[in-house]
Amino acid sequence: MATPDFPRIEVRVSHESIDVPDVLKKATDRGWGAEILFLGHVRDINHGKTVVGVSYDAFVPHAEKTLREICVEAAEKFGESLGYELGMIVHHRLGRLAVGEASVAITVGSRHRETAYEASRYIIEELKERAAIWKKEHYSDGDSEWLKGHALCSHTRHRHSRGSEAQGPAV
């Protein structure tokens, strides 16, 4: 699902597993000196609780629209302002995932590594704040809870920063 004005942007929010080799293949370009792949996995411990799985839900049209907007912003901020284009792929899983499964893949291709790192970081941080994707953790004691996340969920929004222990939507 490339964006017409930015043909090197692909976003997908679906129940399909993330095909990492396919994502990497799509992210290759002879003009890029760097391709960054970020994978978010379901972890086994969160805030001292043993996690056995995570369920992701989303309003897909809104989530995909928001992810495209975030990618366009990253392209404008980190690519076009320097005179070249970036390639970006963002895939996010929905449904129940087991510990260790990939929930999100973000790939950024760029002429230079610094730009690719910055754009990738921007995309994941903005995704956590703005995309209509919700996360429910399931614990070993049988309990489960929705984590704080997107504002449509009516939870408090938290900004992530290095070294911060603020609770926010964990992807």
Q: What is the pLDDT of residue 31?
A: 80
Q: With a cut of 70, say whether residue 26 has pLDDT above it.
A: yes
pLDDT in tens, 51-78: 999 999 999 999 999 999 999 999 999 9
State what percent of residues in the chain have pLDDT above 70: 81
User: Alpha-carbon Rg of the chain, whole angstroms?
Assistant: 16
- Going by their DSSP bridges, the two strands 87-93 and 6-14 should be labelled as parallel
Residue 97 is encoded by which pair of tokens? 């995932």
pLDDT digits (tens, 9 = 90+) for 132-146: 999 999 999 999 999
Please name each of the domains of the chain with its CATH number. 9-15+30-146 (3.90.1170.40)
For 121, left (φ over 0), alpha (ψ -120 to 50), or beta? alpha
Residues whose CB falls within 8 Å of the CB of residue 162, separated by 6 or more in sequence, listed in order: none
Rounded Cα gap, residues 135 and 56, in angstroms: 5
**Residue 79 pLDDT class (50, 70, 90 cuts):** confident
pLDDT of res. 19: 94
Q: What is the pLDDT averaged over residues 33-38?
A: 92
- What is the pTM assigned to this prediction? 0.82
pLDDT score, position 143: 96
> What pLDDT, in 10s, does the model give residues 145-169?
998 765 554 434 443 333 333 344 4
C-alpha–C-alpha distance, residues 34 and 12, integer Å: 22
Average pLDDT, the chain: 84
